[in-house]
Amino acid sequence: MKVPGNKLLVSAALASVFTAQAGIAIGDNAILEFDRVLDGQLIELETDDYVFSGKPSHFIAEKSSHVVSGNVSTQEKLIHWTATDKVTSEIRYFTGALVSDRQYAGVWFSNTGEKGDWQLKSSTPGLYASCNEILKAGVSNGDGVYDILSSGETISVYCDMTTDGGGWTLLGAYAKNSPGGKAHISEYSPGPDTEAVDPQSTWLFQGDLSPFSDVREQVACNTVGCAEGKSAYGSSMTALELENIRYSWGYEDRGSYMPTYNDVPDCRRSYASDEIVEGCMGLDKLTSATTKTVVGWQTDIHGTIDCWVARGNYASSALGSARCFHRGGPDGSRWALLWMR
């Protein structure tokens, strides 16, 4: 099956399970590239074109010169297929694995002794890794629930596509009917849930944060968009800073990972502000140990005490988020939200 370097557009119909595993779905346009040197890299590429059809256990494709037949493993994310030349009876054996979102790669061998490397990648837009990617791709339909890809799995999340520049993925909620006292973030339901207004469950996303760099924590929420609440913002955060902000939602984790307020990521009081609040704390006590009496990233940064996500090891039976005024501790009327972008 000698194939010159003609362009390939593969309409890869390898069944819907591929979508769930970040692979190529039915009707996708894709590109197969291969070479004739087995060395783990693709050099002097050649291409070919197919239209795959069928299901994971047996997909096929037929052209005037050759026939393709193969299968995929839904659990191990492996792919195996053969291409048999109708004239010369040459058979090429392709084997490989899912290596990234919508891309497979591997090696091939022929019964003529030839061998090489190959990759199959979709050119059809697939699932995105965050709400911000959806917004930037121009496929947003406004605020609402979207499917994104997280660590190879499809999850449904709530996206705020309009506030503070849009593109915010909801990654945590503290319900107003939930008592305080979360010592470790592992105590939260991993979610994600998709209620951004008066959430009925308390949860915190436990997955990969690498698609994100901005963060917004909203406390004392009691209306749509948390218009009456208070927020803390961070931009261009490092992976460690994002992880620490998430850890701040457990009072013991916060003390372990950020022993003093010097270790807490800085924040801003508003989206448009350039003013930095060191340690995201309203009082000048950066060298002091972080408190275990509350949970959350921000601590009283808006000119009043009692302004944070929820109670920690003090008065832990108090329900929901603080109300952000003096002696305005939780009373079951407010919730808190954690967003990243």
Tell whether 93 and 216 lie within a shared domain: no
pLDDT band at 122 (very low <50, low <70, confident <90, very high): low
Asked if residue 118 has pLDDT above 80, the reply is yes
Q: Which of 44-48, 173-177, 261-265 has the lowest mean pLDDT?
A: 44-48
pLDDT attached to residue 235: 97
Q: Convert the pLDDT of each residue in 76-96 to its tens digit.
A: 589 999 999 999 999 999 999
Q: Which of 4-18, 115-129, 202-216 has the highest mean pLDDT?
A: 202-216
Backbone torsion region of residue 225, taken as left when φ is above 0, otherwise alpha when ψ lies between -120 and 50, otherwise beta: left
Last residue of a domain, one of 92, 122, 152: 122
Tell whether 208 and 331 lie within a shared domain: yes
Could you tell me if residue 259 is inside a domain? yes
pLDDT attached to residue 231: 98
pLDDT attached to residue 11: 30
Could you tell me if residue 103 is inside a domain? yes
pLDDT attached to residue 271: 97
Contacts of 240 (CB under 8 A, 6+ apart): none
Residue 25 DSSP symbol: P
Could you tell me if residue 3 is inside a domain? no
Proportion of the chain above pLDDT 70, given as a percent: 88
Could you tell me if residue 175 is inside a domain? yes
For residue 143, the Cα-to-chain-centroid distance in whole angstroms is 17
Last residue of a domain, one of 105, 122, 139: 122
Asked if residue 5 has pLDDT above 90, the reply is no
Q: What CATH number is given to the structural domain containing 61? A: 2.40.128
What is the average pLDDT value for the chain, to the nearest integer? Answer: 88
For residue 147, the Cα-to-chain-centroid distance in whole angstroms is 10
Mean pLDDT of 304-323: 96
Tell whether 143 and 264 lie within a shared domain: yes
- The number of distinct structural domains making up the chain is 2
Tell whether 137 and 118 lie within a shared domain: no
Q: Which of 20-24, 128-132, 165-169 has the lowest mean pLDDT?
A: 20-24
Asked if residue 18 has pLDDT above 60, the reply is no
Mean pLDDT of 32-50: 90
pLDDT attached to residue 98: 85
Range of the domain at 335: 131-340
Could you tell me if residue 265 is inside a domain? yes
Could you tell me if residue 158 is inside a domain? yes
Tell whether 242 and 151 lie within a shared domain: yes
Torsion of CA 129, 133, 138, 142, to 10 degrees: 80
Mean pLDDT of 52-59: 80
Tell whether 30 and 62 lie within a shared domain: yes
Tell whether 136 and 18 lie within a shared domain: no
pLDDT attached to residue 75: 63
Mean pLDDT of 9-16: 32
Tell whether 313 and 214 lie within a shared domain: yes
Q: Which of 96, 123, 127 is nearest to 109 (CA)?
A: 96
For residue 235, give the amino acid letter.
S
Q: Convert the pLDDT of each residue in 268-290 to its tens digit.
A: 999 999 999 999 999 877 888 89
pLDDT band at 59 (very low <50, low <70, confident <90, very high): confident
Asked if residue 155 has pLDDT above 90, the reply is yes
Contacts of 139 (CB under 8 A, 6+ apart): 125
Mean pLDDT of 65-76: 82
Tell whether 110 and 159 lie within a shared domain: no
Last residue of a domain, one of 66, 99, 122: 122
pLDDT attached to residue 22: 45
Tell whether 160 and 93 lie within a shared domain: no
Tell whether 94 and 139 lie within a shared domain: no
Tell whether 103 and 227 lie within a shared domain: no
